[in-house]
Amino acid sequence: MENDGAEMIVSLLQKFKPQKTILSSVINHNIEIENLLVAKTKFHKLSHLTKLPFSTPVGKPETIGADRLALAAAAVYFYPRKHNLVIGLGTCITYNFINRDHEFLGGGISPGLEMRLKAMNQFTAKLPLVKPAANIPLIGYDTATNLLSGAVLGMAYEIDGFINLYKQRYGNFNAHLTGGDIVYLASHLKNQIFADPELIFKGLYAISEVNNP
């Protein structure tokens, strides 16, 4: 969507005529979105009260982000009764582990690519803000490639390291990678992964089927 204004929502509803809708939001979104979806469709808002196809035996399940719930739901829906590690590449990197008993055990959160690049610019006196790229050298030859090598390859080695640690503890499991930064990271990872940039939408569909049958 270009924006979250009422006109944009109305145009989408008129164009696609959905029978059911689900909203996943981790920001202070325009509340008019909910009013329109309630009026025009069978609507569900993803929250800690949502019925999920997995359990959340963690300390405070109500604090789990809506995006992480959707990623976990996708893993359970498409790869049931298996250990699944879903890695979301957004503003932050989220590591989300769901065991073969369909329990979301948690995982980890670390800075995403854009956050790392912005931090090096904002918290230093002279380092520039560079745009992400996939084709980068191991040994940077100027300031920009040094920053990209550290940020992109650093993330790749972090992700591979986490996958290897999960392997040591759980043996066989599926590793999934999703999010907008796949294009920069996927080619640098050593472990075998399932790369699906639209996994979160598939998870929302799975949750909608449970709550909006």
Q: Which residues are catalytic?
A: 67
What is the chain's percent helix, strand, coil content, to nearest 5? 45, 20, 40
113/131 Cα distance (integer angstroms): 10
**Eight-state DSSP code of residue 151:** I
**Eight-state DSSP code of residue 49:** T
Which residues is 87 bridged to in the sheet?
Answer: 95, 177
Nearest to 138 by CA among 120, 156, 161, 112: 156
What is the amino acid identity at position 61?
P
212/22 Cα distance (integer angstroms): 9
